[in-house]
Structure 1
Amino acid sequence: MSASQIRNLLIVLALIAVVAVGVVAWLAKNGHEDVVAAPPVVTETLSEPVAEPEPEPQVAEPIAEPEPEVAPEPQPQPEIEPEPPAPEPKLFDFPLPPLDDSDATLLQQLQQKIVSKSVALLVDEGLIEQFVVAVDALSRGQVTYNQLPIERPVGRYKVIEADGKLYGSTANIARYQPYLDLMAGMPREHWVALYQHIYPLLQQAYERLGYPDQQFHSTLLVAIQRVLASPKPSSSVELVQPHVMYEYANEQVQALDAVDKLMIRLGPNLNSKLRLLLEGLQQPLTQWQPE
């Protein structure tokens, strides 16, 4: 734009300004008309366009792989202990009477359990005391014929003669068979249970016998082993009769302890049966110990 053009523009603007001032003054003087302000002149300024920066390339962030889920270790289940089995009812649970008054109670229990008429062989007085005395003697290889818990055999020992020699008769089996029937008349478990139940009375009787510091149970085990250690008889053993009583012709046999000669006198058949009965009692009795 030239200087003359600028000058003309300024003159025009000045005239416009004078006219505007006059109008305003007139309006202010009259006061009943609203004054409307002329809109401001906006002068546009042309500028060169500014280049927008190119957007930076977006760098994709690495996608984190999810961590593998680890299954929780199974918690051990608390072990449930099985309930202990109910104790089996006792075969014998009767109240123990005093030792001096024990015969009637003990005989009643045995008569209810022993399925054999041989129960009549049991003595009815001092049953426990006599049993303890007999066991003590057997442990030393002796037999107390006058102190037994059973009645003595009925009748005399029978012999037969063959070729001028004497031998025990097989008829003697009938004398001793009832005693084995008595033992076999009650199961082994019942004999053991009865023994364990009345043991306090047996121990009391044993102490009265003169053994205050020893266990009767140990003596019983020795007695059983002593009987089982006796010799097994042959089918026939020669006898002699120097006096009233018979003796064994073999001096070595005659010199044996009383329990050995008694086992020979039973004969092979009854001897084997008695051994089986005692062996059946020996094992459970060995495994048990009194409190």
Structure 2
Amino acid sequence: MTQRRQTSRFPAFLIALGIVVALIVAGYLGWQRFKPPEELAATAPVETPAVQPTPISPETPPAPSPPAIEHPVETLVAEEGAEKQTPLPALADAGADAFVTERLTELLTRRNVLTFLQLDGFVRRAVATVDNLARAQAPVMVWPVNPTPQRFSTQRSAGGTEETIHPDNAKRYAPFVTLIESVDTAKAVALYRRLYPLFQQAYEELGFPGRYFNDRLVQVLDHLIATPVRNEPLAVTLVEVKGEVPSTRPWVRYEFADPALEDLSAGQKILLRIGPENHRRLQAKLVDIRGRVARR
């Protein structure tokens, strides 16, 4: 007889992975580096006295140059006769969240946006989540999605010696994968290109000045796509809690029993937890997106 255990850790992160990556698809009609918007007000030039450059001593190496951009995003250029677009707000503006929410609603519908997304600081959340997917931890407080009340289930073998992810668990993820597959890629491309200055600014604020967010996105996509599909049942273990305070949330203590799997990144472990069929479907979407964001 099998025994089911219930947890609620993973479904929201699947939505984070799918919706965030689906939204963050780059323009592929050209490959010019994105040019920042012009300054709102020009200032008069100020004459300054000529200054001789200070020679660099052999003991003081010059500051390293920013890495070259590998996958630049094309600048949007308004077509002749097209309706003038609303200027993009600055990331720190009070109306930035409302602007982004309106664009997301046009892409995903109001119902899906309100059901799944964390709209406050969405751009910063999306950027942080994409960056974290290739790392060991992806903190829930920066997810761009709402946690789901659904539960993750496991089963024990007949002898009770091994606990694995329950086969039926994958069914819970299928609707989310279907939603991800249904996102209009062409509209997502246009949205990403439209909002790219905000994504870039958020990435630099995250602690990567001089780095290019779209390059990081391609790195993360390559990392996730390389995750092998596992068809066999995956063993998990409930980590023991030591101390006098009892654990009231056992669902946050599950780990893969195989140390090699547990050492994978947060994003790769998500792909394994959702089941092989969902993994293949989502992987196909990631491959398609990668082909659009990376320089050809």
Q: Which residue of 1 aligns with 2:143?
A: 148
Offset, 1:95: 3.1
Distance 1:92 1:206 in 2: 28
Offset, 1:247: 2.1
Q: Which residue of 1 aligns with 2:186?
A: 189
User: Which deviates more, 219-228 or 90-99?
Assistant: 90-99
1:160–1:132 Cα change, 3 Å: same
Distance 1:248 1:102 in 2: 40
Q: Which residue of 2 aligns with 1:38?
A: none
Q: Which residue of 2 aligns with 1:161?
A: 156
Distance 1:91 1:167 in 2: 56
**Cα deviation digits, residues 175-217 of structure 1 (max 9, x gap):** 4334434423421122122111100011111111121211111
Q: Which residue of 1 aligns with 2:211?
A: 214
8 A contact 1:118–1:179 mirrored in 2: no
Offset, 1:256: 2.3
User: Which deviates more, 255-264 or 122-131?
Assistant: 255-264
8 A contact 2:126–2:144 mirrored in 1: yes
Q: Which residue of 1 aligns with 2:89?
A: 97
Distance 2:182 2:205 in 1: 30
Amino acid at match of 1:114: L
Superposition RMSD in Å: 2.8
Task: Tell me which of 268, 271, 278 is aligned to 2:276.
Answer: 268
8 A contact 2:234–2:256 mirrored in 1: yes
TM-score normalised by structure 2 residue count: 0.61
Distance 1:171 1:105 in 2: 40
1:141–1:251 Cα change, 3 Å: closer
Amino acid at match of 2:89: P
Offset, 1:170: 3.4
Runs of 5+ unmatched residues, structure 1 = 1-85
1:130–1:93 Cα change, 3 Å: same
Amino acid at match of 2:233: S
Offset, 1:147: 1.1
Runs of 5+ unmatched residues, structure 2 = 1-77, 241-249
1:283–1:91 Cα change, 3 Å: farther
Task: Tell me which of 226, 234, 238 is aligned to 1:229.
Answer: 226
Is 1:114 the counterpart of 2:108? The answer is yes
Q: Which residue of 1 aligns with 2:131?
A: 136
Task: Tell me which of 260, 263, 267 is aligned to 1:259.
Answer: 267
Offset, 1:91: 12
Query: SS of the counterpart of 2:152?
Result: coil
Query: SS of the counterpart of 1:287?
Result: coil
Which has more helix, going by share of residues? 1
Q: Equivalent residues in 2 for 1:171-182 (5 A)?
A: 171-182=168-179
Q: Which residue of 1 aligns with 2:202?
A: 205
TM-score normalised by structure 1 residue count: 0.62
Q: Work out which of the two has the higher radius of gyration on C-alpha atoms and give 1 or 2.
A: 1
Amino acid at match of 1:271: H
1:115–1:273 Cα change, 3 Å: farther
8 A contact 1:173–1:266 mirrored in 2: yes
Distance 1:140 1:123 in 2: 22
* Number of residue pairs aligned between Structure 1 and Structure 2: 203
